[in-house]
Amino acid sequence: MKIWLIGCMLVLILVVAGCSSIDDDSLTGSAVADTACASLEGMQKDNCYADHLRCSKVSDQIVRDSCVSQLAFQKNDLSVCNLVSSEKAKGYCQERFAEEQNDPGICLKIKDQYWKDNCFFHLSVNNQRGDDCSLVSDAEQKASCFNTVAVDTNNTALCGPIMSKPKQQACLYSIAVATVDIEVCQQLDDGITRDSCRKKLAEVSGDPVFCDSIGNGFIKERCFETIEDKPHGKAGFIRQ
């Protein structure tokens, strides 16, 4: 009989501990909040409890999961995310901690693929680590990751085959303009696009030497005219 009573007490303690772990009892006025929320009905009651982070009293699973996530952020405790029942909601909770702690190890623990991809994407972009973009499984998001890091770091090697041809060319064009590097313009496939790139370099630098390298006669003429019209354009240059 004593063993049975002790067993029941242990079960009761575990249940109470589980409930308290998804409530914030440190908030002042929690008892008052419980009383006020108890008089409400349906979603109003759930939202009231959620607003006061009394998550164990929330009936609706979606609202409850949201409440537990907010409680995790409030306590700054990643382990609380494990109490979220939905994998997608849990993934959101974990992803946010991964970003705040800059910890890709947390990304690896996320089961929901959408939030796992978002996790690797944001950490790769935030840390400007292009190689980590390969950890993103969604093809479009992976390409976006490589493109973002490539442009942010002016690394043409990341404007690679993972991107569609138009995005790859746009990536190279952006880096050429940002670095005022005519050699990057040379990597563009189309002759007109290369000439447009050279013209843009002339515009941003005010240096007509870039106009001289343009092959298309019309674009070259417009390039020189643009430089002449710019207040910062170099005076006294001779057209080749």
Residue 238 has a pLDDT of: 44
Asked whether residue 188 is domain-assigned, the answer is yes
Asked whether residue 201 is domain-assigned, the answer is yes
Asked whether residue 90 is domain-assigned, the answer is no
Residue 237 has a pLDDT of: 46
Residue 160: partners with Cβ closer than 8 Å, 6 or more residues away: 146, 168
Find the mean pLDDT for residues 214-220. 96
Asked whether residue 232 is domain-assigned, the answer is yes
Split into its structural domains, the chain has a count of 1
77 vs 131, which has greater pLDDT? 77
β-bridge partners, 181:
none
- Has residue 160 got a pLDDT over 90? no
- Domain range for residue 197? 183-240
- Has residue 95 got a pLDDT over 80? yes
Asked whether residue 216 is domain-assigned, the answer is yes
As a whole-number percent, the residues of the chain with pLDDT over 90 amount to: 74
Tens of pLDDT, residue by residue over 132-150, are 999 999 999 999 999 999 9
Asked whether residue 235 is domain-assigned, the answer is yes
- Has residue 170 got a pLDDT over 90? yes
67 — pLDDT class (breaks 50, 70, 90): very high
Q: Is the pTM of this model over 0.85?
A: no
Asked whether residue 115 is domain-assigned, the answer is no
Asked whether residue 153 is domain-assigned, the answer is no
